[in-house]
Amino acid sequence: MDTRQLQAFIAIYESGGISRAAEQARTAPSVLSHHLANLQAQFSHPLFVRHPRGLLPTEYGKRLYLHATQIVQAMDRAHEDLENMAGNIRGHVAIGMAYTALTSVGRQLMRIVLQQHPGITLVLTETLSGSTINQMMDAQVDLALAYNPAQDSRIHATALLEEHMLCIGKKEIIGDTTEPITVKALLDLPFVLLRRGTLGRSVMDDPNLQKQFERRARLQADNVQAVNLFVLEGHGCVMGSQSYLRDELARGEVSCRPIIKPVMRRTLFLCEHRDKPASRAVERVRSLVLQLVADEVRSGAWECEQVLFDPCPASRTECRAGRPA
């Protein structure tokens, strides 16, 4: 198989038919048919079956699509990387960010990339910890800032910082006090539960406690905006770090209390593909993200219990985001 065959296959797969794929690719249908026929001849099982709505992929076609997209993307990245050796950094970089990370460093990252790296196309996506590995394996993201991601041998995860989890909500819900609240007392409050592993590690490591939270939650959601609405409308509270809803906390719209017995913590990780070479564009964005996180912690804007990485090792040539050392 060659690149043209794989590109034709991907176009047909995504459009659902040869004519539609040819129209989108601005080429003749006969060209795509030729490439598809040559590709199909290499396999003993059909990749598509005909249907009144067009061509439907078989299980073999679906499997090949996973490989084909990664192969074509890898070739595109290789081409971009070699082109970048001779000039300005160019290319697409997709980064998934947990909500707290997105609100803490997303704005600065966009500004720096837009102003200083016009050749980089940045794709920002909000990610929940439980979906991080799938997003990376499906080649949806090149990098991810995620809390307590599942361990996977295909992913290299660097611990960045550890945060103490708080009970956050309106004073009429959590009480007009900043004194710590026990998990037992928290379970008696109306609270919203973020699913897919976005709670603190201590809860997730205790399956019995996790079941209690799931059983007692007034609302469960995968959408962070739904969680925010639940809390800001005064329906209940949420478990988050000091950086979660930090603007609302600063304005006094909500209050917070540390959670104890047990203390709940979560760790932010930078996740990367272990075996996929990073392009210069990905390397640059990675460097910016690490420095922006360090700057936020150093300034006190991102409160955490401890920093778990060296934001500016001696070997790094850039010690401030966007500025030479």
Q: What is the CATH code of the structural domain delimited by 88-162+267-307? A: 3.40.190.10
Q: Are 198 and 147 in contact (CB under 8 A)?
A: yes
Per-residue pLDDT band for 174 (boundaries 50, 70, 90) equals very high
Helices marked H in the chain: 3-15, 18-25, 29-40, 59-84, 99-116, 132-137, 171-174, 183-186, 201-204, 207-216, 224-232, 246-250, 280-299
**Proportion of the chain above pLDDT 90, given as a percent:** 40
pLDDT above 80: residue 145:
yes
pLDDT of amino acid 211: 83
pLDDT of amino acid 155: 87
CA atoms within 13 A on the CB side of 134: 6
Span 249-267, mean pLDDT?
A: 91
The CATH homologous superfamily to which domain 166-263 belongs is Periplasmic binding protein-like II (3.40.190.10)
**Helix, strand, or coil (residue 131):** helix
CATH topology of domain 3-83: Arc Repressor Mutant, subunit A (1.10.10)
pLDDT of amino acid 314: 41
Q: Measure the CA–CA gap between 156 and 312, rounded to whole angstroms.
A: 19
Span 181-202, mean pLDDT?
A: 77
Q: Are 142 and 177 in contact (CB under 8 A)?
A: no
pLDDT of amino acid 128: 61
Domain with CATH 1.10.10.10 in the chain: 3-83
**Helix, strand, or coil (residue 295):** helix
Q: Measure the CA–CA gap between 106 and 96, rounded to whole angstroms.
A: 10
pLDDT of amino acid 292: 94
Residue matched to tokens 């932010």: 268
Between residues 308 and 12, the one the model is more confident about: 12
- pLDDT tens digits, one per residue of 19-31: 989 888 888 889 8
Q: What is the DSSP string of 115-129?
A: HH-TTEEEEEEE--G
Which residue from 112, 137, 107 is spatially nearest to 124, judged by alpha carbons? Answer: 107
Q: Are 287 and 316 in contact (CB under 8 A)?
A: yes
- pLDDT tens digits, one per residue of 202-252: 454 566 777 888 889 888 887 788 899 999 999 999 998 888 888 899 999
Q: Are 286 and 278 in contact (CB under 8 A)?
A: yes
pLDDT of amino acid 69: 87
Domain with CATH 3.40.190.10 in the chain: 88-162+267-307, 166-263
Q: Measure the CA–CA gap between 145 and 111, rounded to whole angstroms.
A: 18
CA atoms within 13 A on the CB side of 302: 21
Q: Measure the CA–CA gap between 282 and 33, rounded to whole angstroms.
A: 35
Which residue from 243, 250, 218 is spatially nearest to 231, judged by alpha carbons? Answer: 218
pLDDT above 70: residue 104:
yes
- pLDDT tens digits, one per residue of 50-98: 888 889 999 999 999 989 988 887 787 777 667 666 567 888 899 988 8
Which residue from 24, 25, 12 is spatially nearest to 57, judged by alpha carbons? Answer: 12
Preceding amide of 52 cis, omega within 30: no
> CA 7, 13, 15 angle in degrees (round to 5)?
100
CA distances from 76 to 71, 139, 144 (A): 9, 13, 21
